[in-house]
Each structure stands twice: as structure tokens, then as C-alpha cells.
Structure 1
Amino acid sequence: MMSLKELPDKPFEEKDCLESFRLAYENRYTWESDFPGYKGSCSYKNGKELFKGEFIVGKDLKASISIINNELAKKALASQLWEVCIHRVRRPFEKVHYENTFSFGDKNETGLEVLVGGKNKGDKYRIKDNVVTMVYRHVHGSLVNIFTKEVLFTGKGYLSKCYTSQYLNPSTKEPIGPESYFNDEYIPLYSGGPWVLSNRTIIKEVDNSIYNSEETYSFFDLEELSTC
């Protein structure tokens, strides 16, 4: 398999666009491949309801929740942990985007547009200061649009801190659900250790002005699993 770093037969603009996008992609924070997993206490608040329990995320990144008896609350906590963990997996750019091509689109305050051709034709991104600031991507028959407003720099890559997410109809491009506002907080498990989610607040908006729901996920008393 030829490395995307070479591209001897590609036009200059395409090579330049690919390289710019690759730098932003590789600047995302990911865990080392030998990360053993971690555990701690957790809570989930949805409106007036508050659930408290414990969790374990194994080396396989699968989360299990204990103590909480409410199945919906357990599922909500496990889902958020999985969503966070799956984005910490380091996947080489060459494997993820080998069958794609890239070209520059327009530029605005969000960043420079990167248009995708090839296998994932129709997807697009925006990049700014080596950060992926927008994702417009087809996933499992749906179309998701994410805008990153604020990031946390860990020294080993960035983590999205404040961002919005909305699902669109892939045919009409019209919203099929409310826009969600995320505010994430991360901490290292120990000094110099891997960064993990400590708090996530999700607010969903209706009619562009009314907040109809707010969910808060908290993770604390965290520690890495033993490798022994």
C-alpha cells in the first residue's frame, strides 16, 4: 500500500490539501495502544432525576455500569463512555482515508473547507490552526454535522471541549432532530497520564430558542486499571 505522504502523481493543490487535513487529523488527542482502561464513580442527571453508580472501561473500551438499577440511566452512561473512548483510538490516517481524495473549498470564520472525493464523496470538513473545526459526514445511513467551538490542548493533541452536533436527512439535508450542545471537561488520570472525560453536559434545543432538555454526566474518583 502506497503511503499518502508520497502522492507523486497528484496535482499540487490536492497534495497540499491532503497534507493540511492530515496534520489536523493527527493533531487529535488519542490514547496509546497499551492503555489498560480505567474505572471510577459516575453520575447521570436528567432533569430532576439523579443516578449514581460505578463504572469500568476495559482495555477493549467496553464500559460496564454497576450499582445503578435504572436500565435507561445505565445505557445512557455506557453510551457516552463508549462515544468518548472510540474517539481516543489511534487509527492511522493512511488506513482511514486511503480511498479518499481531498480538495480545498471556501474559507470562512470556521476555517478552510476540505471537500472529500473517492469512497466518502460528499463528506466535508473544515480545518483551522491544525484543528478539525467542522465535520459533515455520512455515518451508518445518516448525515451528521458537528461544529467545534472550543478545544483543550493537552500537549499531545487537542480534545474538543465545546461543540454542537445535529443529524440531517442524507437526501434532503434537512435536520431530523434537535441540535445538541456539548460542553466537555477532561482531566489526566494522573500527572502526565492519559486524559479522560470528567464531565459532559448536553443541551438540546427546539425552535432555535427553547432548551427542552439538559443532561449531565460526571465521572470522578478515577484510576487506571492495573496491568498486572
Structure 2
Amino acid sequence: MKTSKTAQELFQTAFESRYTWDEDFPGYSAKVQLIQGQETYTGKIFIHRDLSVEVSGISDIEVQEGIYIQLRNVVTHCKPASFNEEYGEHEFIQSTDDTQATVIIVKGESLNSTYKIKGREICQETRVKGSTAFVIDTHENLDTGEGYIANRYDAIFRDLKTNEIQSILKFEDTYEKVGNYYLMIKQVVQDSQDVKDTIAEFSYSDIKLQESAMM
């Protein structure tokens, strides 16, 4: 009889099947355009070799901060990470749900999250941050041949005490390979919180890796 994989093994497989940049990632620069309602903003962005983010050339501070946060999220998902460093001290509990997805509860000193896994991919993440609980459902992944990247997903944020929905965001991301690396060239975010949906469209062009990546 074949022994079934443990909860930790299942989660580790899904975690390590994600696409990430490697240790040689050199950083890059790009032009950014954000279309938000009737407004269009343009500027310059840098994701440096140390994975720090810089946004310049945008006079509206809130818009500049919004682009910075968006790029920090990109870095969070693409940066190389060791499973043992991230989750080595955590506890993993396995169950299933009515969709036959594998449910993995991850418990740690400062983390208590629930993930759903189908095949080798994470399809849902539920976490609590401060007074807010959020659920991210992934509907489509890009198979790069070097790992998967979520490129169509929704996020629902709720007040932890009242369970009231604070916001519903729908994302569609587009990646292209530049040199040796897949980089985001577009993200469309639909905010469905209000009666009338609002859409923000981030576009990145004239992407230039540092020369070391092209050698």
C-alpha cells in the first residue's frame, strides 16, 4: 500500500511549484502607466537587485504609493524563498472540502492560515491580518515551464468582528519573459465594493534588466 503524502509534503510541493525569480535576479527598470477612472498617470519604476522598490515621476503621492504597494506584492510572490526558512517551524493539518480540494491549515507563532490545493497548485488562501480577514481565490495560473504564476484571481476582505465585506477585488495579470525572467507587464484590478465597479489598469513598458541578466 502506498503511503499518502503528509500535509506538510503536499503544501511544500505546491509552494515549491510556484514560479520565482532565482538568486541571480538583477532587478529591472520600466515605465509605468496607471489608468484609473478618467485619470492617467505615468512615471518610472525600479525593482532593484536587493528586491527593494522605487517609484518616481508621479506627483500624486497616493497614486505613487499605490503603485509601490502593487510592485511590493509582485516582489512578495516572485522573490526566491526557502520552504524551511518560511515554514520550517509551522504545523500542518490536512482535510478536504466539498470540492475535493485538499485543505491545509498552517499554524505558526505569528501565522494561522488555510490553503486549498488542487494538483500541485494553491487555489485558495485564507488569512487574517489585524482586524481584517481575507480570502484569495485563484481561477487561472500561467504555466511558465519553470513554475506557475497566478494570473486571474479574486480577493475578498471582511471585517473580522462583523464579517461585513470591506472590499472585493478582481485581478487579471499579464506576464512576459524578459531575458531569463518572467515579469509583469500589465495588471487590471476591478474593485467591486461600490454599486459601480471601478477599474485600475497598471501597464509596464520599456522594461530593462540590468546588463548582467542579459549576458
TM-score by length of 1: 0.84
Amino acid at match of 2:190: I
CA-based RMSD: 2.4
Deviations 1:149-201 (A, max 9, x none): 000011111000100112233445x14511100110111113xx111111001
Partner of 1:3: none
1:14 to partner: Cα distance: 9.2
Distance 1:110 1:70, change over 3 A: farther
Is it true that 1:85 corresponds to 2:75 in the alignment? yes
Is it true that 1:196 corresponds to 2:183 in the alignment? yes
Output aligned runs, 1:1-228, within 5 Å.
16-109=6-99, 111-119=101-109, 122-140=112-130, 142-172=132-162, 174-190=163-179, 193-206=180-193, 210-227=195-212
1:15 to partner: Cα distance: 5.6
Q: Is the 8 A contact 1:184 1:197 kept in 2?
A: yes
In structure 2, C-alpha distance between the alignment counterparts of 1:159 and 1:224, rounded to whole Å: 20
Unpaired runs of 5+ in structure 2?
A: none
Q: Is the 8 A contact 1:203 1:211 kept in 2?
A: no
1:69 to partner: Cα distance: 2.1
Q: Secondary structure of 1:144's partner?
A: strand
Q: Is the 8 A contact 2:33 2:203 kept in 1?
A: yes
In structure 1, C-alpha distance between the alignment counterparts of 2:166 and 2:132, rounded to whole Å: 12
Amino acid at match of 1:206: Q
In structure 2, C-alpha distance between the alignment counterparts of 1:17 and 1:200, rounded to whole Å: 33
Q: Is the 8 A contact 2:131 2:159 kept in 1?
A: no
Aligned pair count reads 212
Q: Is the 8 A contact 2:159 2:166 kept in 1?
A: no
Deviations 1:5-41 (A, max 9, x none): xxxxxxx999622111110011111111121100111
Report % sequence identity: 24
Q: Is the 8 A contact 1:168 1:177 kept in 2?
A: yes
Unpaired runs of 5+ in structure 1?
A: 1-11
Deviations 1:53-85 (A, max 9, x none): 222211122222233222222222122111101
Distance 1:175 1:62, change over 3 A: farther
Amino acid at match of 2:188: T
In structure 2, C-alpha distance between the alignment counterparts of 1:158 and 1:132, rounded to whole Å: 10
Q: Secondary structure of 1:150's partner?
A: strand
Amino acid at match of 1:107: D
Partner of 1:8: none
In structure 2, C-alpha distance between the alignment counterparts of 1:165 and 1:224, rounded to whole Å: 31
